[in-house]
Structure 1
Amino acid sequence: MTLLIGFGLVALLGIFHHFALLGLRRVTADAKERPNRAIISVFIGLLVIHLAEILFFAGAYRVLLDWPWMGQLNEMGTRWSGLIYFSGINFTTLGYTQIEAAGPIRLVNMMQSLGGFMILTWSATFIYSVWKKALDGL
């Protein structure tokens, strides 16, 4: 059950990221004419998008931790700042944190790391394509 919850959250993450990138693509349609603006817009846009995705998972953890059967995080992971930190560490696939997960919620953590890896590589490919388009215009 927990693995399905993690899968569903990562699926939502991918859907959100897809539409966010479509929005960024519209913003940078003139990359050849305004290369600096396009590259900076994509960088800042991806920063905002990734932060929103980290906050989404932090909120999901908050909800999931209200279900006793999901497991728990140690005391540092019960505050909102701890949840954001925990989510960000998982999203960036660093994995090491002072916040320990116990119980089935660890499967959601694992799925977030997988999703974060996929999203970050997708974003890297996207920013590279905008950068290439912008430089081809020079």
Structure 2
Amino acid sequence: MALLLGLILLGLLGIGHHYGLLGIRALKPSSDNRPQLAVIVVFLGLVCLHIIEIVMFAAVYRAILAWGTLGTLGADFGNSWLDLIYFSGINFVTLGYTQIETEGPLKLINMLQSLGGFMVLTWSATFLYANCEKAWKE
């Protein structure tokens, strides 16, 4: 059950990230006319996109913990939104190295969030690099 849920969340993350990148691309000014502004818009857009993704996973963790059948978070978890966002963010950006231990099948969802975070962060880095290359061409 946890593996299936994790895979569904991973798929939704990829789909959402794809459309988020399309939105950022639509919002950014032309790299030919305003190259510095284009890079800044892309960078800030990616920051916002990743924060949204982290908060959405925090909401999923909140629902899973309320349900109670897929596991718990260890003793260092304070059960607040701040703790959930921290937990989700650390999993997203550092492949799960956090002080908060995951117990039960929830570990699989945690692992898949880390995989998804790694994948979309590298995707975003490539997107930013491509926009920088276009904006900074001499």
Number of aligned positions between the proteins: 137
Of the structure 1 ranges 106-115 and 60-69, higher mean CA displacement relative to structure 2 is found in 60-69
Q: What does 1:123-134 correspond to in 2, within 5 Å?
A: 123-134=124-135
Secondary structure in 2 matching 1:88: helix
Determine which structure has greater relative contact order: mean sequence separation of CA pairs < 8 Å that are 6+ residues apart, divided by chain length: 1
TM-score normalised by length of structure 2: 0.94
Give, in angstroms, the shift of residue 29 of structure 1. 5.0
State the identity as a percent: 55
Give, in angstroms, the shift of residue 68 of structure 1. 2.2
- Are the counterparts in 2 of residues 28 and 130 from structure 1 also a CA contact under 8 Å? no
Q: State the match for 1:93 in structure 2.
A: 94
- Are the counterparts in 1 of residues 95 and 111 from structure 2 also a CA contact under 8 Å? no
Q: Does 1:58 align with 2:64?
A: no
Q: State the match for 1:8 in structure 2.
A: 8
Q: Does 1:118 align with 2:110?
A: no
Provide structure 1 residue ranges, at least 5 long, that are not aligned to the other structure: none
Provide structure 2 residue ranges, at least 5 long, that are not aligned to the other structure: none
Once superposed, which parts of structure 1, at least 4 consecutive aligned residues long, lie more than 4 Å away?
Answer: none
TM-score normalised by length of structure 1: 0.94
Superposition RMSD in Å: 1.2
